[in-house]
Structure formats: C-alpha cells, structure tokens
Structure 1
C-alpha cells in the first residue's frame, strides 16, 4: 500500500468505528497490514501525527480513538 493509501485506510477505519479504541497491532490486523515491529512503529508514528492534528485522541498508552 502507498503511504497516502495507508493514511486513507486508517482514517476510514476510525470514521467507521468512532467509538472503538484501537491498539496499533489490532489496527494492523484489521487493515491486513504486516504486524512486524518496523511496520507497527511506522503506523505508531502516523497515529501520533493524526493525534497531534486533532483527528485522534489517546485514551490510554498505545491506544487511539477518533476525537468526537
């Protein structure tokens, strides 16, 4: 998947499940992405960026949810 496409899939997933709290590994499994540590770290960075932009919140360490 291209970077832009991955972002789109992440945003779409959170939009489709606004009440769900995702851990990074769970999000990867949901999207069918590899669950190796380097891939997880890239997604963790993407989720951090989406959190700083105000799209997501972090209700707990390593957990992400759509900001309502």
Structure 2
C-alpha cells in the first residue's frame, strides 16, 4: 500500500510494482504479489482499471 500512497493515481502492473519495490522478479514471487493485490481489490482498497492493472481507490 505504501507504493500506492506514494504515487496516488498511478496505475501499476505487478512487474512494475516489483521493480519499484526492489522485489525479486521470479514468477513465484510475482504470483504471490498478484494474489495479495487481488485480495486488496476484494477488500475495496484497490481498484482494477484494467486486466492486470491496479490502482488505489479514491
């Protein structure tokens, strides 16, 4: 959520988010992040303006 708070209005792809946070870019790590982002979407904290894209809800 910190990355979304620091860049309000920006739409992130999972790989872009990994790059920004300095996380490993291996597929298992990306899948975990994708799962976490999906959970945040279901909780209403993030929106999904397009397939594979995530943005903080206003």
* TM-score above 0.5: yes
Between the two proteins, the alignment pairs up a number of residues equal to 58
| Distance in 2 between residues matched to 1:24 and 1:34, nearest whole Å | 12
Alignment partner of 2:23: what SS? coil
Structure 2 residues without counterparts, runs of 5 or longer: none
Structure 1 residues without counterparts, runs of 5 or longer: 1-10
The alignment's TM-score, normalised by the length of structure 1, stands at 0.83
The answer to whether structure 1 residue 13 and structure 2 residue 3 are counterparts is yes
The structure in which a higher percent of residues are helix is 1
CA RMSD after TM alignment = 0.4
Aligned match of 1:45 in 26, 32, 35? 35
| Distance in 2 between residues matched to 1:56 and 1:18, nearest whole Å | 11
**Deviation above 4 Å: which 4+ runs of structure 1?**
none
The alignment's TM-score, normalised by the length of structure 2, stands at 0.97
Alignment partner of 1:54: what SS? coil
Identify the residue that residue 55 of structure 1 maps to in structure 2: 45
Aligned match of 2:26 in 20, 36, 44? 36
